Amino acid sequence: MKQSRIERMLKEVRVNNYGKIAVLTIIAAVAAAIIGLTSMTSPELTAGQAVTPTVVISDFTYFPGQYVNKATGPSEHIQGF
């Protein structure tokens, strides 16, 4: 008897080798476990620790309100080429 088109297509996409799927699943689980363990055991870094040469300027404070806007009007249009 002749197979229908749907049956032929299902046969083409059917999984026949479950061993490869099992190996890939195990590899993915081991990789996820390793990443999880390393992220739990590693100390958290702050922004100061990420940069090795740290320069601290103690007497510098930035407050934008202390600067006066000296613009009197809109600037000139920049001419294109």
Q: Where are the domains of the chain?
A: 5-66
pLDDT at 10 over 60: yes
Is the model more confident about 31 or about 78? 31
Q: pLDDT tens digits, residue range 33-77? A: 998 888 877 776 555 555 455 556 566 666 667 777 777 788 888
- Output the six-digit token pair for 10: 């299902």
Give this prediction's pTM.
Answer: 0.39
The DSSP code sequence of 3-71 is PPHHHHHHHHHS---HHHHHHHHHHHHHHHHHHHHHHHHSPPP-HHHHSSS----TT----GGGS----
pLDDT at 25 over 90: yes
What's the rounded Cα separation, in Å, for the pair 7 and 15? 14
